[in-house]
Structure 1
């Protein structure tokens, strides 16, 4: 069987050249359309991703606010201040030790509800005033000048040396 020599006829050459050029043009158009569509999809995806992240952050903030409304306010920090440290000539290393001892004495109130701590404020004052704190063979007694109860319990003390 013999295959006819179509490549020699000009009409067939034009047909094959047109098919080849048309295929190339169709491929270029397809790539352009696909690239344009992919670009718009990518932009839309990025916009939706940022919108989802914003909504997640907003949702977390609202959930936290809801939890804060449900949960009672608790004591998180205790601040101790000794008013007359300079008058008693207390060493700058002794003052933080005394403050730490007083904090240890009332540390059980951290994590407690502010309303509960407010009810036992006299107990806290008594616990601080009725205990002697010893550092370097020197004994100290404290008088509570001011007690502020909120998320941060602030206690202002006046020290008295017992030696």
Structure 2
């Protein structure tokens, strides 16, 4: 039995070349889509992990403070969480993961504030601002200096921060 020499025909050569190029293009599209899905999954995983750590640290801080408080002090309004917003994230072209890491560094530095009285913190807000502004934050071989633009002290401490590249 003899196999016909179809590989010599020009139409079959075009068909085989088209099949090969199509397979390469399909593989490239598959790799791109997989990369996008994996990146979204990693970002979501990091956000959930950061939220879990924040909740655990808030829980521990509140639990410790509640044990130490007396009845009179428990009736006052206390700080329960911290919310940080970077105002010039798009201007500096910061990646979402770097911005999240920067926010986490500031939150870990300010964990002592959770559970404190709002009145005492509002009297000493300048100390809080100086604490944030006087530190250089290093993230992925880049250093940033933070400047507090707005500070809202309620049960949720809200900070609006503007970053400047440091030296």
Aligned to 1:156: 160
Secondary structure of 1:88's partner?
Answer: coil
Following TM superposition, by how much is the alpha carbon of 1:143 offset from its aligned partner in structure 2, in angstroms?
0.5
What is the number of residues matched between the two proteins? 97
Contact preservation (8 Å) 1:75, 1:110: yes
Q: Residues 91 and 69 (structure 1 numbering): CA distance in 2 closer, same or farther, change over 3 Å?
A: same
CA RMSD, 1 decimal: 1.8
Say whether residues 1:143 and 2:137 are aligned partners: no
Q: Is the 1:143–1:159 contact (alpha carbons within 8 Å) kept by the matching residues of 2?
A: yes
- Whether 1:80 aligns to 2:84 is yes
* Alignment partner of 1:124 out of 106, 122, 128: 128
Alignment of 1:30-109 (within 5 A): 71-109=75-113
Q: Please tell me whether Structure 1 or Structure 2 has the larger radius of gyration of its CA atoms.
A: 1
3-state SS, counterpart of residue 93 of structure 1: helix
Structure 1 residues 152, 138: closer, same or farther in 2, change over 3 A? same
Q: In structure 2, what is the Cα distance between the partners aligned to 1:93 and 1:87?
A: 16
- Cα deviations by residue, 1:63-103 (Å, 9 ceiling, x for unpaired): xxxx8996100000100000000000001110000001111
CA contact (8 A) 1:105 1:127 kept: no
Runs of 4+ in structure 1 deviating by more than 3 angstroms, as ranges, are 67-70
TM-score, structure 1 length as denominator? 0.56
Question: What TM-score, normalized to structure 2?
Answer: 0.55
CA distance in 2, matches of 1:103, 1:91: 18
Structure 2 residue runs without a partner (length 5+): 1-70
For residue 5 of structure 2, what is the aligned residue in structure 1? none
